[in-house]
Structure 1
Amino acid sequence: MEAISKNFFLYLSNNKLLDRFAKRFGKRFGADKIVGGETFSQAIPLIQQLNHEGLQVTVDHLGEFVNCEAEARDRAQECIRCIQSIANHQLNSEVSLKLTSLGLDINRELVIENMETILEEAEKRGVTVTIDMEDSSRCEATLEIYKELKDKYENLGTVVQSYLYRSDKDLDELDACKPYLRLVKGAYKESGKVAFPDKESVDKNLKHLIKKNLLNGHYTAIASHDDAIVDYTKKLVEEHDIPNERFEFQMLYGMRNQMQKDLLKEGYNVRVYMPYGEDWYGYFMRRLAERPANIAFAIKGIFCK
């Protein structure tokens, strides 16, 4: 039943008609509970409140699969404005972005140009940037671009997804970069040829990747709402005397709020992933696919003001 639910919401995430409908009626379906606003300025007070509570943040301007060079350049400028606002408001926040929003599907040179412009500003302002991972067809290109840019810019991270068979080898190939990695399960619909078909295998691989990257000595963000993954990480770092400064837990804005607070009280670093922007629909559907309990947000949004 869980697999059927996941496939259903992943299918909906790519429906253009529902995307247009959602942009009109998004708040009624609970989008405002997991998205920081339509603009970064709307997200600023929310970030300030999270920072006040002791939580760090990473923000993501929603939107992907850009096929127009002008739009890709506009997206890059939005990232730059976001970085400037983070610095000007002294927010404890990083920036996450998707390469498809910067022109990955157009040409590689455009992506590199946009990323270098963004990273120059981020370096100047002391802001870290993380390249989000997308579906498996774009994984190789994303990691190659990350490795190229990591040679020039220290303040750069990326994401590895445990549901892909290739991820263990990817960690080996990234090792020389001394990477800052966010480790996640993965939220795209993939073929059994490239991805583990069952949750048990995905979870087992995520634990393996967490242990491997931490023992390799690299900063690791464990991005999971799963109690078992969080407990595993706690035991692992205690067993190997890994200091809290070498890792953090990451969770989505609006989800597992009590767990975030509990982890903070226990002395762990916690970062909240806060998306903003109008193109929230695909993101929202993938969150529902990841965790059926998230459907409650949508139901509450329909029936509650």
Structure 2
Amino acid sequence: MKLPFFLASRFVAGETLDVALDKLGEHVHDRSEAIAARDTYIDLVRTLAARSDDGLRNRISIKLSMMGQMIDEDFCEENLRQLLEVAVEHDMFVRLDMEGSDLTQSTLNIFEAVYPDFPNHVGPVLQAMLKRTDRDIDRMCELGVSVRLCKGAYAEPASIAYQDMNQIRERYLDYMERLLQHTDYSGIATHDDQLIGATKDFADRHDIGTDDFEFQMLYGLRRSTQREMAQDGYNMMVYVPYGTEWFPYFSRRLREKKENIWFVLRSLWKG
């Protein structure tokens, strides 16, 4: 049974669009739904561009599985190209979310197909927990692509993903260092104080300016930390999801950290 929406409200901005960066949803298997998702993303780009005076950074985050990735990669690529053409018109960056490991190679295939035509307006997400990410980092560094680096929120088997958090942190730190040195304005997506501190220290030691990368956090988590880091001069991007398809997203947030589960329990206790 799906939980009431109010329980997810800490992590999801709203069920209707006001100002947001990522429409929730995934795994579309119908072409008409994929086209509708593409058009929704295009409308989102235009809406954000029209509200640029509000101080929003010009970027959105999308899921290729919403635009027909699981139907046909060529079909999905064409939908993405149409979106990117509009994004270029408004000088808006499009981040390609990384979903489950079954879609990792497909996502990177589609990314590499469109990247030569839109080099300044598209970039992927890589997950530190996946064992394949080491070679994917090498490839993105070779291209100099802006990457969003996260730990990874999907449940994956030990055969393809690290399970121990200390090991995931170790891989994350290695990937962070390589991205900061060899890519253009990558995003360090974490709420982990250990990783945040290590990133700051590495940037300081290697004379990497605060304008050369950004920290990224989820809407609803570490709000005071987000403000403090921005006040300290670091670029801070808040990932703001919205939409009616909030349950899969909310479920992953619960699996990520114990504090998120305690938040739900407190909400239930308060009625």
TM-score category, normalised to shorter length? over 0.9
2:250 paired with 1:273:
no
Q: Distance in 1 between matches of 2:113 and 2:209?
A: 29
Aligned to 2:61: 96
2:194 corresponds to which of 214, 224, 228: 228
User: 1 CA distance for matches of 2:158 and 2:135?
Assistant: 18
The 8 Å contact of residues 147 and 177 in structure 1, kept in 2 or not, is answered as: no
Which residue matches 1:26? 5
Larger RCO, structures 1/2 (Cα 8 Å, 6+ apart): 1
Match of 1:134 among 90, 99, 107: 99
**Deviation, structure 1 residue 217:** 4.0
- Find the residue that maps to 1:236 and give its secondary structure: helix
Q: Does 1:299 align with 2:261?
A: no
CA apart distance, 1:303: 4.2
| Secondary structure, aligned partner of 1:271 | strand
**Which among 132, 153, 156 is matched to residue 166 of structure 1?**
132
User: What percentage of aligned pairs have identical amino acids?
Assistant: 33
Give matches, 1:1-305, under 5 Å: 18=1, 21-22=2-3, 25-27=4-6, 30-41=7-18, 44=19, 59-90=21-52, 91=54, 92-93=56-57, 94-153=59-118, 154-304=120-270
Q: TM-score, normalised by structure 1?
A: 0.85
Q: Which residue pairs with 1:10 in the alignment? A: none
Please list the CA deviations of residues 134-159 of structure 1 after superposition, one character each: whole Å capped at 9, or x if unmatched: 11111111111111111011211110
2-side partners of 1:101 and 1:217: how far apart? Answer: 27
Superposed structure 1 runs of 4+ greater than 3 Å apart: none
Q: CA deviation at 1:110?
A: 1.2
CA distance in 1, matches of 2:270, 2:23: 27
Name the aligned partner's letter for residue 175 of structure 2: L
Q: Cα deviation per residue 1:225-250 (whole Å; 9 max; x = unaligned)?
A: 00000000000000000011111000
3-state SS of 1:129 partner: strand
Letter in 2 for 1:64: E
The C-alpha deviation readout for 1:108-127, integer Å capped at 9, x for no partner, is: 11111110111011110111
Q: Distance in 1 between matches of 2:267 and 2:242?
A: 18
Q: Distance in 2 between matches of 1:110 and 1:38?
A: 28
Task: Tell me how far 1:304 sits from its aligned partner.
Answer: 4.3
Instruction: State the one-letter code of the partner of 1:32.
Output: S
Is this contact kept in 1: 2:141–2:178, CA < 8 A? no
Partner of 1:189, secondary structure, is: coil
Q: TM-score, normalised by structure 2?
A: 0.95
Instruction: Identify, as 1 or 2, the structure richer in helix.
Output: 1
Q: How many residues align?
A: 267
Q: Which runs of 5+ in 2 are unaligned?
A: none
Helix, strand or coil for the counterpart of 2:136? helix
* Secondary structure of 1:33 counterpart: coil
Residue pair 1:157, 1:181 contacting (<8 A) in 2 also: yes
